[in-house]
Amino acid sequence: MKTVPLSSLANVIRSKNAGPFLLTFDVLFNDKDIFSQVWESNAFAAENLAKLFGISANRIKSIYAMPKGNAIKFTLQRPRTQGSIGETDMYGCQQHSPLLDLPINLK
């Protein structure tokens, strides 16, 4: 077994608003096999993602695998409503960086 960062496996790692209250993350793979290994590695379990962002697991609203698109998606409650005072990222598109280093245990 070896551990590698997600950025060495995924083709696209992105964040974006899904409306003014939700922040959605997409991780896309070009290879079906790698996608399956990553999904099965349990790296995208709620507790793991919560730890990555330093939030409580109940802030993670949903986690999906989309095998036909070799894609993993998860969505968080935004720290604040889009555009409210204290906004740091209007489009929610620069919140993906912690995922780049997410350690994935491969068989």
Q: Where on the chain is the footprint of another protein (CB under 8 A)?
A: 11-12, 16-22, 24, 26, 28-30, 52-55, 61-62, 64, 66, 68-71, 73, 75, 79, 81-91, 94-95, 97-98
Q: How far is the CB of 99 from another protein (least distance, A)?
A: 11
Q: Which of 107, 105, 106, 46 is nearest to 76 (CA)?
A: 46
Q: Which residue, 88 or 107, has its beta carbon nearer to another protein?
A: 88
DSSP character string of 22-69:
EEEEEEE-S-HHHHHHHHHTTTTSHHHHHHHHT--GGGEEEEEEEGGG
d(CA 103, CA 106): 10
Cβ atoms of residues 11 and 27 within 8 Å: no
At 72, list the tokens.
């993993």
Q: Which residue, 1 or 19, has its beta carbon nearer to another protein?
A: 19
Q: How far is the CB of 25 from another protein (least distance, A)?
A: 11
Q: How far is the CB of 83 from another protein (least distance, A)?
A: 4
Q: How far is the CB of 107 from another protein (least distance, A)?
A: 23
Q: Which residue, 52 or 106, has its beta carbon nearer to another protein?
A: 52
